[in-house]
Amino acid sequence: MNGERITIIIPDEGERERIDRFLSQSLEMDLSRSLVQRLIHEGRILLNGATVKPNHRLNTDDIVEISFPEPEVSDLKPRNIPLNILYQDEELAVIDKPAGLVVHPGPGNSDGTLVHALLYHLRDLSSIGGVERPGIVHRLDKDTAGVMVVAKTDRAHRALSEAFAERTVSKRYIALSIGKPTREHFTIDSPIGRHPRYRHRMCVRDDGREAVTELFLKRVFHAQSSVFSLFDILLHTGRTHQIRVHLSSEGLPVVGDPIYSRKWEKYGVPHLLLASVLLEFTHPGTGKPMRFEVGPPAHITEFIKRLEKAAT
């Protein structure tokens, strides 16, 4: 998005929020609050066509325009960011990405991303993704933790990309959502596309791309504040925000979701309660089946412990 202008129409959940806070926390453009404030001071963020102060309170349907400066020449440098490498060989590596780590550089995150960590920890990375995304075959949202595969050679990158496109990669997630479904096992087969009004989010729409999510209800927690459901999720397609959109469309938003849950701050979680816990694919070099599984990240297990303690 660097060097471009984007327009955002403020949704209901932005009502009375500070503009700097809303733009930094409720959009998945990886904008830090300090960057938002700097863009405001530089006159690069306009509210209804006029300059604004960082502490201005928004109203529903306000129009925000963000004009990003021209990009600087890319000069990615390795950074010694701790990284849990589950496996690696000459062709690929598999990592357990922590929540809160941006996958690749973008507006507001020119440094300190997963890519910078990969450049430090791995000797080689594929070049197909371009200079800003070496090795990146697929991505997880900033606040989504879990298993990712990284390509170290261009041959592996091409093969893995084809496997994702042909849906031969098995991806399982866990999520804690607000509410309780009427069924223990169900599939949401609803196309997903860009929201026609709020362009920073996705939505279920008839003209969207095919999206299929299979859900298995594992546990239900009855707390004083709400009812929560723990899901085991099999992702059959890989659309942007797919699990988050599909669960929200069923009235079951993921806990801590700043985009698809109107009361996302209510439960005091540091990150989205969604994680990729299993990845299965065929090794592009050896042809052998590969399977990697991790447990839930700490912020999810800690929330579950809170719910269990409240129920005792």
- 305 is written with which tokens? 């412990």
pLDDT tier at 254 (50, 70, 90 boundaries)?
A: very high
Residue 48 has pLDDT above 90, yes or no: yes
Same domain, 244 and 197: yes
Q: What's the structural domain count of the chain?
A: 3
Domain stop point among 166, 198, 215: 166
Give the pLDDT confidence of 200-250 residue by residue, as tens digits: 789 999 998 899 999 999 999 998 878 999 999 999 988 889 999 999 999
Domain stop point among 138, 166, 194: 166
Same domain, 142 and 62: no
- 178 is written with which tokens? 């607000």
Active site residues: 141
Range of the domain at 182: 171-276+300-311
Same domain, 152 and 55: no
Q: What is the 3-state secondary structure (H, E, C) of the chain?
A: CCCCEEEEECCHHHCCCEHHHHHHHCCCCCCCHHHHHHHHHCCCEEECCECCCCCCECCCCCEEEEECCCCCCCCCCCCCCCCEEEEECCCEEEEEECCCCCCCCECCECCCCHHHHHHHHCCCCCCCCCCCCCCECCCCCCCCEEEEEEECCHHHHHHHHHHHHCCCCEEEEEEEEECCCCCCEEEEECCEEECCCCCCCEEECCCCECCEEEEEEEEEEECCCCEEEEEEEEECCCCCCHHHHHHHHCCCCECCCCCCCCCHHHHCCCCCCEEEEEEEEECCCCCCEEEEECCCCHHHHHHHHHHHHHHC
pTM: 0.79
Same domain, 181 and 247: yes
Give the pLDDT confidence of 82-105 residue by residue, as tens digits: 999 999 999 999 999 999 888 877
Between CA 218 and CA 101 the distance in angstroms is 28
Give the pLDDT confidence of 267-307 residue by residue, as tens digits: 889 999 999 999 999 999 999 999 999 999 999 999 999 99
Q: Which of 147, 91, 141, 150 is nearest to 120 (CA)?
A: 150
